[in-house]
C-alpha cells in the first residue's frame, strides 16, 4: 500500500466524524464497553495509543465492536506497526515520520497517519507521498493559527490536529480549510473509563459529533 493510497484511506476515516477519540486504556476488560459507547455516540474511528501494556489487547477487543474502526496511536517503529496490525488495527498514527516507518507500513499494508508540524516536515511527508497528516502537538505548536498559516503555501495537505484539543477549541480547528477532523482525549476521561460510565462517555461522543 503506497503512501498515496494510505493517505486516501486515512482521509476517508477522518471524514467519518469530526473527532477521533484518543484513548489511553490500561485495562482491556473496559475495551469493548468503551468502544461500544463511542460508536453508539457517533464516533466510529478510535485511536488506541500504544502507551500501556494492555494496548494491543485493547485493540483486539475493540476491533470486534461492530461499526468501529480501531487504529493504533504512538506508533514509532516498524515493530510497533506490525504488532498493531496483527492485533487488528486498521490504521496507525505516529507523532512524526521516518523513512523506516513509512516503508514498513507500505510493506505490511497498514495505512499510516504520520505527524508533521513545520513546513519542512510537511514537505518531507509530501515527498514520500503523504497528503493526510497529523498535526501534533497542536496547541503547543501554535494551535489553529499555525495550521491556518500552513494552508497558504501547502493547500494540498490536510490535517488531523491532536494535542491540547478540547471541546472548547475544537471548532477553531474544524473551521480551517486544511483540517478534516481533530483528535481528542476529553471524550473518555480516565475516571469514567475506570467506573465503566459508558452513558457519560456516549453523551460526550454525541456532543462531539455535532462539532463543525
Instruction: Answer for the pair 209, 18: CB distance below 8 angstroms, yes or no.
Output: yes
Joined together, the cell numbers standing for residue 34 give: 468503551
DSSP state of 28: G
Backbone phi, psi, residue 182, to 5°: -125, 160
User: What is the C-alpha to C-alpha distance for residues 185 and 38, in angstroms, rounded to an integer?
Assistant: 12
User: What is the C-alpha to C-alpha distance for residues 57 and 104, in angstroms, rounded to an integer?
Assistant: 22
Longest distance between any two alpha carbons in the chain, whole Å: 47
User: What is the C-alpha to C-alpha distance for residues 45 and 184, in angstroms, rounded to an integer?
Assistant: 12
The residues annotated with a catalytic role in the active site are: 47, 134
Residue 200 parent element (H or E): helix 198-209
Residues 167/65/92/49 CA torsion (nearest 10 deg): 60
The SS3 of residue 21 is: strand
The SS3 of residue 55 is: helix
Residue linked to cell 496507525: 92
Joined together, the cell numbers standing for residue 93 give: 498514527
Amino acid at each position: 500500500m503506497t503512501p498515496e493510497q494510505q493517505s486516501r484511506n486515512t482521509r476517508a476515516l477522518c471524514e467519518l466524524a469530526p473527532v477521533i477519540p484518543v484513548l489511553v486504556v490500561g485495562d482491556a476488560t473496559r475495551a469493548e464497553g468503551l468502544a461500544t459507547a463511542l460508536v453508539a455516540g457517533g464516533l466510529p474511528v478510535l485511536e488506541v495509543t500504544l502507551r500501556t501494556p494492555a494496548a494491543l489487547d485493547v485493540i483486539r477487543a475493540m476491533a470486534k465492536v461492530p461499526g468501529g474502526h480501531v487504529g493504533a496511536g504512538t506508533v514509532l517503529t516498524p515493530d510497533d506497526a506490525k504488532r498493531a496490525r496483527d492485533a487488528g488495527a486498521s490504521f496507525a498514527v505516529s507523532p512524526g515520520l521516518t523513512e523506516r516507518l513509512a516503508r514498513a507500513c507500505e510493506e505490511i499494508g497498514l495505512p499510516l497517519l504520520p505527524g508533521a508540524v513545520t513546513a519542512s516536515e510537511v514537505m518531507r511527508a509530501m515527498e514520500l507521498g503523504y497528503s493526510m497528516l497529523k498535526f501534533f502537538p497542536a496547541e503547543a505548536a501554535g494551535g489553529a493559527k499555525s495550521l491556518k498559516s500552513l494552508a497558504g503555501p501547502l493547500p494540498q495537505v490536510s490535517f488531523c490536529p491532536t494535542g491540547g484539543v478540547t471541546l472548547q477549541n475544537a471548532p477553531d480547528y474544524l473551521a480551517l480549510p486544511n483540517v478534516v477532523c481533530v483528535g481528542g482525549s476529553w471524550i473518555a476521561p480516565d475516571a469514567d473509563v475506570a467506573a465503566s460510565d459508558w452513558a457519560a462517555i456516549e453523551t460526550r461522543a454525541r456532543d462531539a459529533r455535532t462539532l463543525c
